[in-house]
Amino acid sequence: MSSYSSDIYTEPRADVITLNNLGPLRHMAGVWSGTRGLDTKPKAEGPKKQIFEEHYELQPIDPQTNGPQLYYGLRYHTHVTKPEQTKTYHDQVGYWLWEPATNTVIQSLAIPRGQIAMAVGHATADATSFELVSNRNTTTYGICSNPFLEDAFRTDSYRIKVTINPDGTWSYETDTALMIQGQAEPFHHTDHNTLHKIAEPTPNPLARG
């Protein structure tokens, strides 16, 4: 807390227009589609590669404060299917957050298989590439799983790299290190995709007001 005021209650003045204050996340705001994602996942017979399609929505939220701490952010939902199928392959919700005072980027995530995580990294406000990391067994920026996953497919780390491309698209690469029951070495569950904008973001409630 040394980078913050000793007054832990007083909130800073915030700009109500979140879209003007998202730092490196500004280029990700909106609704996106990706049709050539690739997932490498563990199966009993060995690693399996799967092409997937993705609908990714990121909408600005009002500024958020913890006393002197100030975040601007995007609420997101990504929904993934296999080509020509409607059954959900992956579903994930959370927030992308930017703290201008410390140049910190955070991604929180929750998936409906009983797992949550928070990853953190640092970037300049005009960065076009940044990387976030989350590790197990920490109470800050950590990973929490249900008992079955913790025993059978323990997640030790999660890493995501985001790249803003010159053509207006953005790409991500993720690497989730799993310790799978009965295996001596970690399995690297990877995903990557490039997303194309299909709709502009909706301004946050305060900005609309």
- CATH code where residue 107 lies: 2.40.128.20
Query: What local confidence, expressed as pLDDT, does residue 2 receive?
Result: 53
In a domain, 1, yes or no: no
Q: What is the structure's pLDDT at 197?
A: 98
Q: Which pTM does this prediction carry?
A: 0.96
Spatial contact of 17 and 63, defined as CB atoms under 8 Å apart:
no
* Locus of tokens 């609309």: 208
Task: Examine the pLDDT at 148 and tell me if it is beyond 70.
Answer: yes
Q: Does 168 fall in a domain?
A: yes
Report if residue 5 sits inside a domain: no
Domains contained in the chain, number = 1
Coil, helix or strand for 103?
coil
Model confidence band, residue 209 (pLDDT cutoffs 50, 70, 90):
confident
The residue length of the chain stands at: 209
Which DSSP helix (H) or strand (E) runs through 135? strand 129-135
Tell me: the pLDDT tens digits for 8-65? 999 999 999 999 999 999 999 999 999 999 999 999 999 999 999 999 999 999 999 9
pLDDT of residue 1: 44
Residues 122-132: pLDDT tens digits? 999 999 999 99
Supply the range of the domain harboring residue 113: 18-208
